[in-house]
A and B are shown apart, each in its own frame.
Chain A
Amino acid sequence: MNNDTNFSLQSRRQFLTRLGLGAAATWTLPIFLDQTFGALESDAMHHTQAITGKDSPILIVLQLAGGNDGLNTLVPYSDDNYHRLRPRIGVDPKKIHRLDDHLGLHPNLTGMKALHDEGLLTVIQGVGYPNPNRSHFRSTEIWQTASDANISEKHGWLGRYFDNACAGCDPTVGVSLSNDMPQAFTANTPTGICLPTNIRLNERGDEETVEMDNGGSSIEMLGGASHSKLSPLDYLKRTSLDGKMSNKKITAILQKVPAPTGFPNSELGQQFSTISRLIAGELPTRVYYLSLGGFDTHHSQQPTHERLMETFSSSITAFVREMKRQGNYQRVMLLTFSEFGRRVAENASGGTDHGTAAPMFITGGAIAPGIHGKAPSLTDLDHGDLKYTTDFRSIYATVLDKWLKTDSQKILQGKFATQDFVRA
């Protein structure tokens, strides 16, 4: 048994180093390479955006999975209704990082307060959509596909961007930092690769207790079904080819670019560290996708939410600092969202139930910093939930038109007014 244990530690560590990034090094599938390459070349004639690893804009999307409590993130601390409706879990106004006379950031968003003070942070209040759905899965699907609440759309908004603007691009045009593809990436032609970091090692190289030490939430990662039209067999062939094509490139970058300092040890922090290395190494990626889970705080919300806020803030701040250091800050835009906010009034378990609108945070070289949008009322409610003031699809439209420089109407299948949080 002793031998087994030793062997296990060693082999775990070694198995791991091979799993994530070094994974597909020996991937060979010569039999169908020819035909698939042919298909790729014909795709390539249709792509409209030349993508290089050096100068094209990069979008990073971070989902706070499970429904982040927006009201305890961007706190309307001067509103008496806030304190009346949240006697137990309301954030102490004395500890809040005040942004103005009404709004403040959660006490653990220290880094993000600094970003705000330096003009590196945009906050958009009250983002949601008409006829909000309070199911995690349905609401995530709505956000990821940018559909109306009463329409089921299979392809993701970023997948439609890949299909429309990046057909035939390198598969690393979309990178999901997990073992799952987000539904947002679901495209007619499967695009994008996965870089999982879901098992982490501590300093001694031992496995961390990630399995049971999370904050206690039934919603961790929200993936999505893939709806490619390819048959299962063709889908398998295509994916293996993408893996082969991307793996060498990524391995080479990670060997060349050392891990930057200053990133927290959390999984999210390490994922941002990986992204910053891939950017430094000029991977031709347009969209990176990450998810931070654990926000479904139906009971005993406070300690969980505090921990998540700290992780969220420290990871984003480290990333912004590193982008500045690399000189790549001008090339990135980071967008955060959650499938919904939470109910205005706390519940009796010291938590909050599923709600609706919530703030979005945006950072990057092209942003117009500050607080945008209209604060939702805490008294004029829809079944106890906030009424949204900005449609999330107008945020997407702004990102597509003004940042990724592509026709948002085609991708969102409708016209949504652009906002002024991106500088012209």
Chain B
Amino acid sequence: MLPPAKPKSWNHAAAAHLLGRAGFGATPMEVVSFFKLGRAQAIQAVLTVPPVAEPPQLDPDDKPPYSGIASMTPADKLIFIKKNQQRDRLELQTIRQWWIGQMLQPPSAFLEKATLFWHGHFATSVQKVKSAGMMLQQNQLLRKFAFGNFRDMVKAISCDPAMVIWLDLQQSRNGAPNENFARELMELFTLGIGHYSEDDIKASARAFTGYRTQRRQGGFDYYEDQHDATEKTFMGKTGRFSGDDIIDIIFQQPACATFICEKLWTFYASENPEPGIVAGLANTLRKSDYELRPVMKEMFGSEAFYNAQSMGTQIKSPTQLVTQTCLTLECPPPPGFSLKFIMTSLGQLLFAPPNVKGWDGNRAWINTATLASRQQFTDALVGLGDKQKGGFQSKVPLGKLVTNETLNDSAKLIDDLTHRLISTGIDQATRAELIAETDKYPKPLSQTAVRETLSRIMRLPEFQLV
């Protein structure tokens, strides 16, 4: 059990921190009401499963039959393929937009944040899966288990159609096992490198033979005649192991709980956690037989979650940047077609992680290109993207962000807006400089002056932290 946070450390900043990390941030008013719940109630709110959201309707005939394609003329074939690609792109746009929308719904934000963690963990890309329907199905699976049982989730993901394609289980059969899934199962999903041998990979690859999905209909099939049911020796145990048996043995390894708890802490709290923190959480995870909610409850209630190493030290992920900025500026997210380009240029296109390891995160989010793209995004959001040069219509309700008083008082405006936008706060010199810049505009401030002020604040390096 990690040392719990002291009651007096529950204040507005702590409430904002919990909202920002367990969810995607909130307006100052929402922070106040969250604070009033008290820490225990607030954590309970975080870990409550929201009502099930209706997923977007996709074309049920996910892939039109390809049987006729062989007899088509080359020109018809091209039209056919183009049409399919276009439909796939639109469907992807739909599910991305839907997911970002879910993140912006107050009751579901917390579950969506956890779903995002698991998307990065079981990182599967549509680039290879080539079906928006399958990606949505996997997304629903991750959501279902995000506050559930880790072992059940791993068993479910091994039968997930997108995963079956992504890591080549589809091609793995008795006598010819494909090692891709078996390797990443241990290296990236459960144990981490160094906790298994090459022989373990070979043996477990045989256990996962016969897993299939029908590309056209989706769904999972198990081909018994392609499964290797013979004896295998895996991690010192011998038997006619199935895939689920292998997963059960993996979950008996002490490294399993440690591995996932370190990753959870890094995602939610801070980089390079002390061994004691990871060991404490891992202990809880084992005791709860791999139920995730007790671990998250302990994490969000711990003293270390609210210390200086954790608060305001995380570089926002692109998803966090987009959602938190929209939430705090009380505006809708960019439309689907812009969203894809924004997320790509920021370096995190949902449903298309760069590889099976997912996004590295933290400092790896930031380089000269992505940082400039972040500025372009925030400029476009407040309506300063050069209209001739595209972007999208700004829908930030400026009237909600300012008052008659702040339009006439630069210092008050800067304090209000930085409080709303920057979780770490800013130093006195920066504050003075921002006030001086704002003082250059005639009073009361025009809409353009407010937009430029917002843009200036969101260009501060501090704005990139949560």
Contacts and interface: CB of A to CB of B under 8 A. Distances in A.
A43 interface: no
Contacts of A349: 168, 171-172, 176, 178
B391 A236 contact: no
Given A15-B338, A217-B128, A348-B176, A224 B364 contact: yes
Interface stretch (B4-12, B212-220, B349-357, B438-446): B349-357
B171 A4 contact: no
A228 B193 CA distance: 23
B376 A19 contact: yes
Contacts of B85: 209, 212-213
B225 interface: no
A199 interface: yes
Interface stretch (B26-34, B245-253, B456-464): B456-464
Interface residues on B, range: 35 or more
Interface on chain B toward A: helix, strand, loop, or mixed SS?
Answer: helix
Q: Which applies to chain A's interface (DSSP): helix, strand, loop or mixed?
A: loop
A209 B433 CA distance: 45
Given A199-B341, A218-B166, A383 B313 contact: no
A375 interface: no
Interface string A115-136: 0000000000000000000111
Nearest to A138: B193
B183 interface: yes
A18 interface: yes
Q: Name the residue in B88, B89, B357, B460 with the highest tally of chain A Cβ atoms < 10 Å from its Cβ.
A: B357
Nearest to A236: B461
A239 B371 contact: yes
A212 B183 CA distance: 25
Given A179-B347, A218-B356, A232-B315, A4 B366 contact: no
Contacts, number: 220
Contact of B459 (A29, A138, A348): A29
Contacts of B361: 225
A239 B367 CA distance: 6
A180 B364 contact: yes
A23 B313 contact: no
A199 B346 CA distance: 12
Interface in A13-61: 13-20, 23-24, 26-32
A354 B324 CA distance: 41
Contacts of B347: 179-180
A195 B461 contact: no
Given A209-B89, A214-B127, 20 more contacts: A8-B338, A18-B376, A19-B373, A135-B193, A179-B344, A179-B347, A179-B367, A180-B354, A209-B85, A212-B127, A222-B354, A225-B360, A226-B364, A298-B171, A298-B179, A298-B180, A299-B178, A348-B175, A351-B171, A351-B178
9 contacts: A11-B338, A135-B187, A179-B344, A211-B352, A214-B128, A218-B168, A225-B363, A232-B314, A232-B465
Interface of B: 85, 88-89, 92, 125-128, 130, 166-168, 170-173, 175-176, 178-180, 183, 187-188, 193, 198, 313-315, 335, 337-338, 341, 344-345, 347, 352, 354-357, 360-364, 366-373, 375-376, 386, 388-392, 424, 429-430, 433, 459-462, 464-465
Interface of A: 4, 8, 10-20, 23-24, 26-32, 134-138, 171, 176, 179-181, 193-196, 198-199, 209, 211-214, 216-228, 231-233, 235-237, 239-240, 242-243, 246-247, 296, 298-299, 347-349, 351, 353-354, 383
